[in-house]
Amino acid sequence: MSICAAIQMASSPNINSNLLEAERLITEAVAAGAKLVALPENFALMGLDEFDKIKQKEQDGSGPIQDFLARTAKKHAVWIVAGTMPIADPANENKVMAACLIYNDLGERVARYDKIHLFDVQVPETNEVYRESDGISKGHEPLVIDTPFGKIGIAVCYDLRFPELFRLMQEQGMEVLIIPSAFTEKTGAAHWELLLRARAVENLCYVIAPNQGGFHVNGRQTYGHSMIVDPWGTVLDCFKTNAGFASADLDLARLHKTRASFPVLQHRQIACK
């Protein structure tokens, strides 16, 4: 078994202060025994508008945010799933990719996932309007990677609402789903726990869900309630408000036993195309 942590923040437009807060929380999680930590979406930058991230973008493989992640992973000998950060889109200088970078405990980057589904919505019964596609180019490829913690699939926030993505991951052997997010207060209260537990149950996998939580300088309020869910849909830990983290053991032996005794994944009659 390995302890994992889902870190919760209320990030601001100030990258330096966000990185200081991220390091503080990572240090606390490691002290509590975490070997794998996951940061929320937009952990390094929650801008005043959709275009701030373009001004602060980094080239792939170089920049202060990426240097911080590599240095921190190595310093604490911990795997880091680094929420999302703005990486330059080589095909469009006016947009960025919402990239989730994964670093191993030696400080080496081992994978990158670009957010596929972009949040272009008006939240029902509110005046909140979001147009992520104004500043972000969508990704195209699901990601499942081998790690010491099992086969990990990565998705980001709005991706959570598209179950076909997770079926594709399941066909690649996903055992643990990590989904860094910045769910709004309104949509989080309605759907956050419901969707996380559904994804865990229908894929018989662990779900690690770090979320933004609190009030932000740009006027947003995010839901928090970062949590870890087991393959039976049980919430193992939930950190509701303010900055902190949820933590729990990942027990792959229990996961495999559950899949063997309840072989729903083998009973599927309709395969993904």
Q: Which DSSP string do the residues of 26-37 spell out, in sequence order?
A: HHHHHHTTEEEE
Please state the separation of Cα 9 from the chain's center in Å: 12
CB 111 within 8 A of CB 132: no
Burial label, 94 (beta-carbon count in 10 A; 0-12, 13-18, 19+)? exposed
- Annotated active-site residue 41? The verdict is yes
**Catalytic one among 115, 185, 205, 238?**
115
Element (H, E) at 256: helix 252-261
pLDDT(124) > 90: no
Which domains occur in the chain, in start order?
A: 2-267 (3.60.110.10)
pLDDT(239) > 80: yes
* Tens of pLDDT, residues 139-152: 999 999 999 999 99
**Catalytic one among 4, 100, 157, 205?**
157
* Tens of pLDDT, residues 196-229: 999 999 999 999 999 999 999 998 999 999 999 9
**Catalytic one among 4, 21, 35, 41?**
41
Q: What angle do CA 229, 10, 107 make, to 5 degrees?
A: 70
